[in-house]
Chain A
Amino acid sequence: MSTFTTFPHGQLPENLIAFAEYLRHTAQRFNLGPGEVEDALRALEAIHLESLQEVRQALKLVFCSNLEQERVFDDLFFQFFLPGRKRHKAQANPRKVSPGGQGERGEQSQPPQSRSAEAVHDLHGPAGHGEARLTEDESADHWAAPLLKAMFSRTAGGESPEVEIPQQDLEAMLLAASQLVHQVRLGRSRRWDSAPKGTRVHFRRTLRKALHTGGDPLYPAWQHHPKRQPRFVFVLDGSRSMQSYSDQLLQFAFALRLRCNRVEVFVFSTGLKRITRQLEKARNLSERPRLNQLGQAWGGGTQIGENLLCLEQKYGGLIRGDTIVIVASDGLDTGAPEVLDYALRQIYHRSAALVWLNPLLGREGYDPYANCMKTALPYLDRFCTAHTPEEFARLTHRLRLRK
């Protein structure tokens, strides 16, 4: 990449070509060709070249084509044209917060933290390095307190720590989500719909089209039964015991919501929370998707029965004959098994299929006939575990649908 970062080249067009080349090789993969460079040159003619802000805005308008590129463009612009002058924009520094977990896992791979530390280092010079460390340690107190509370309180999560959805390997998860959606075969609906080819003549439209041909129905219009599209309700256990599994589950839920609009996502611990809108918001607005205000739905104990009953009673309308309900939980319930039995029976009768993901399954010595899983097993259409994107993709593979 170093060959692209050499600046200046002399003439403005050459510099712009080099900048476009530089952008093409970034992680955001700017899709720039000679047309865009030409547009950029014309754009620079239309504004004040002496105004750095206007130049940056003009190039941003021409070179960016989506939000992800727009977010990083300013940094890349400064890195290329003014490498000595870094922007010290106050950035949100999201901490990875596992549900009730120690928080350290996975932190080393979080680029914003290292960037933040780097910015502090730049401000203070080499001598300021120790201070940068201190800043990190101090800030750690702010997020460690709610975590400690979450670990020792049954109704933890009251402070609502932010939960970040990991970005690494998201592409593989998106692919898995697409495969999962496409594998579901629900058959055809009973409704009739207009189609280019079909099994029944659409009488009204045929008459309307006959107007083109002087009243003779030369071009018949057709109707067919459209294919039924599946809906998904994904219910995640966000309790402390699911800490090590939550990253993959959240990432998969996020990917599924990105790939399919007919997805509703809930998270529960001692309370239930619908997070579909937050996932959408994460897609639209955040640099790094994250969830907040989860309250009692994250990081506390586990009350599976009560929460599934709450889901059925409060959001029962979302579970229909074309809905596949996926529950992800380790089944370490503290509630009454009768409640779970009742809730699962209701969901079972409403849905097309009920899938249970249990991360403990496959571990040596794990007995699914203990605790709440024994109650749940008769209602499950599939009981499995999934850790990799490939395993998630196979959740609906050859799944027999009841409706």
Chain B
Amino acid sequence: MSQTEINPLLTTVEGIQAVLRERNYIADLPMATALRLVMALRKPLLVEGPAGVGKTQVAKTLAEVLDTRLIRLQCYEGLDTAQALYEWNYPKQMLHIRLTENTGQSVAAREAEIFSEAYLLRRPLLEAISQEKPPVLLIDEIDRTDEEFEAFLLEMLAEFQVTIPELGTLKATHRPYVILTSNRSRELSDALRRRCLYLWQNYPSFEKEVEIIRTKLPGINERLAQKIATVVAHLRELPLNKAPGVAESLDWAEALVSLHQESLDMRVLEQTWGVILKDKDDLTLIEAHKGRLAELVA
């Protein structure tokens, strides 16, 4: 796809920030620059960071901005090419063979039919390279896959083509915008990293978090948003088993708004802990820090 088909605003970093903001996604300079380069260089972007900082959301928003399809491949241990790339529809093939048994068709003709695209089940990767308009391909939590699958992905990300023995090589009509996310539960190989642009996305700054809360929940008052951001930032400093991410901040803000709370105090905090802290040890730990939290919400 040529650059001219893209919204002219997306050709500058500031423009990308503005367009994403319209879609309620607050992107800082590193993220906006990364998206600019994804569009310009057509290289995959590897986003690493703790859980709940908006890594997946950026792909969804990019698809919205580009007005294109989002194709998502959720990775897990044991994911193989049949689930990620393509698979033949065996029951349908068998049915076709049975139905055409007495039609007098030659074996070669019948074989050609059952190994045609009509009998091909396209999985996310193949789907992504055969779109008319380049889609956004989100390969989510790549660190959960096995090393074999990662090696297979290398070829796909380098050439954007897939070889199916019965059909031949299918080359991407248009290169998709690829975004890979990882929580660093496993070290990815250097070969995969070299094929990608790399971005580390950390928890947002206080100002950015307030802005995110206010953008997503326009009805919330600024003081409450600031209190939420302050408490959440403090919680992230503590050695919690599960530190609250931006998603938890937003859930908490939404919970407080729906409970018609205009401000925070310790009573409300204790009633709503379950929205942001999801581990028994964390709840025990927080008991020791009540004094500091009371100061923060005062």
Interface residues of A (CB under 8 A from B): 31, 35-36, 39, 42-43, 45-48, 51, 53-54, 57-58, 60-62, 64-67, 69-70, 211-212, 214, 261, 274, 277-278, 281, 283-285, 291-293, 295
Whether B194 and A67, one on each chain, are in contact in the complex, defined by CB atoms closer than 8 angstroms, is no
Q: CB distance B41 to A39 under 8 Å? A: yes
Proximity string of chain B (41-54) to chain A, C-beta cutoff 8 Å, 1 when within and 0 when not: 10101001010000
Measured in the bound complex, the distance between the Cα atoms of B203 and A386 in whole Å is 39
Is the CB–CB distance between B184 and A43 below 8 Å?
no
Judge whether A285 and B239 touch: CB under 8 Å.
Answer: no
Which chain B residues numbered 40 to 85 have a C-beta less than 8 Å away from chain A? 40-41, 43, 45, 48, 50
Which residues of B approach A to under 8 Å, CB–CB?
A: 11-13, 29-30, 33-34, 36-37, 39-41, 43, 45, 48, 50, 88, 90-91, 94, 97, 183-185, 190, 193-194, 196-200, 202, 238-241, 243, 281, 285, 288
Q: Which residue of A lies closest to B282 (CB)?
A: A277
Residues of the A chain whose Cβ atoms lie less than 8 Å from the Cβ of B200: 67, 70
A54 touches B239 (CB 8 A): no
Query: Once the chains are docked, how many angstroms separate the CA of A287 from the CA of B234?
Result: 19
Known: A62-B37, A293-B239. A54 touches B197 (CB 8 A): no
Q: Are B30 and A57 in contact (CB under 8 A)?
A: yes
B190, A61: Cβ atoms under 8 Å? no
**Closest residue of B by beta carbon distance from A276:** B241
Q: Please determine whether A211 and B33 come into contact, CB atoms closer than 8 angstroms.
A: no
The residue on A at minimum CB distance from B197 is: A61
Q: Which of A31, A57, A283 contacts B194 (CB 8 A)?
A: A31
Contact B40 A66 (CB under 8 A): no
Chain A residues with Cβ below 8 Å from B88 are: 212
Q: Which secondary structure characterizes the binding site on chain A?
A: helix
- Of A31, A284, A292, the contact of B239 (CB 8 Å cutoff): A292
Q: Of all chain B residues, which has the CB nearest A70?
A: B200
Partner of B94, one of A47, A211, A261: A211
Count: A-B pairs, CB below 8 Å: 88
Whether B198 and A65, one on each chain, are in contact in the complex, defined by CB atoms closer than 8 angstroms, is yes
Q: Please state if B198 and A66 are interface contacts (CB–CB under 8 Å).
A: yes
Contacts of A291 in B (CB 8 A): 239
Contact indicator B194/A65 (Cβ below 8 Å): yes
In the complex, residue of chain B having the shortest beta-carbon distance to the beta carbon of A295: B288
The smallest beta-carbon distance between B101 and chain A, in angstroms, is 12
The complex places the Cα of A281 from the Cα of B36 at a distance, in Å, of: 30
CB distance from A163 to the nearest CB of B (A): 11
Residue ID in chain B nearest A71 by CB atoms: B200
Tell me whether A284 and B241 are in contact in the complex, defined as CB-CB below 8 angstroms, given that A54-B29, A54-B33, A64-B198 are known contacts.
no
With the chains together, A69 CA to B43 CA distance in Å? 19
| Cβ–Cβ < 8 Å partners of A39 in chain B | 41, 43
Q: Are B90 and A70 in contact (CB under 8 A)?
A: no
Query: Per a CB cutoff under 8 Å, which of A31, A61, A281, A292 touches B37?
Result: A61
